[in-house]
Amino acid sequence: MQPLVLSHLCILTSLGAGQEATFVALREGRSGLRPCRFESVSLPTHVGAVPGLDDFHLDGGLAGFDCRNNRLAASALEQDGFAEAVGQAAKRYGSRRIGVFVGTSTSGILQTEIAYRRRDPATGRFHIVDKSVNGTWLDGKRLKKGVEEVVPDRAVIGVAEVLTLSFEVRK
């Protein structure tokens, strides 16, 4: 098999923004964990939150997709000259000959906690509410904004007509 060449990379973690900040933190043995500051969390715990992420927002054509996960990806792509390196590679090899691979965390620890807290205590069922700009679908039916719906134990959830999630409760 032919080796894959990684010609450039960028990194954004709770340790810092960019390769240098991350490597310095690792060399110094610093942790990126911070006390959890989610509202109503009374458990003394720590999370690895990226500093400044809450102040970073997507704008322009991407504003409708603003969420923590997309902010993480967009902010990461701005680190270490990555966007410029991709542009140079596209000019040199052609855009069909390069690949950009992006990995992010779930970045939704708070949303997961909120969903878990909103489970029906008697049945254990989850509920969903569309608060999006581009719409949410539950088993092919578009949800009305702001109206809570029960999520069946098995469901297909569509987001903004670009993402489909398979949902299954495991008992």
Q: Do 38 and 78 belong together in one domain?
A: yes
Answer whether residue 6 is part of any domain: no
Does any domain span residue 56?
A: yes
pLDDT in tens, the chain (171 residues): 788 778 888 999 899 999 999 999 999 999 998 888 776 667 777 888 888 888 888 988 888 888 878 888 888 888 999 999 999 999 999 999 888 887 766 556 666 666 777 788 888 888 888 887 788 889 999 999 989 899 998 999 888 777 788 888 877
Q: Are residues 73 and 125 in the same domain?
A: no
Type and span of the H or E element at 137: strand 136-138
Structure tokens given for 103: 């990995």
Candidates 9, 3, 1, 19; CA nearest to 100 is: 9
Last residue of a domain, one of 97, 131, 160: 97
Which residues lie across from 36 on neighbouring strands? none
Query: CA–CA separation, 160 vs 61, rounded Å?
Result: 14
Whether residue 14 contacts residue 51, with contact meaning beta carbons closer than 8 Å, is answered with yes
pLDDT in the model for residue 107: 59
Q: Please report where in the chains the tokens 């999006």 appear, as a residue.
A: 132
In a domain, residue 104? The reply is: no
Residues 148 and 86 in one domain: no
Does the pTM exceed 0.85? no
Report the C-alpha gap between 80 and 20 in whole angstroms: 9
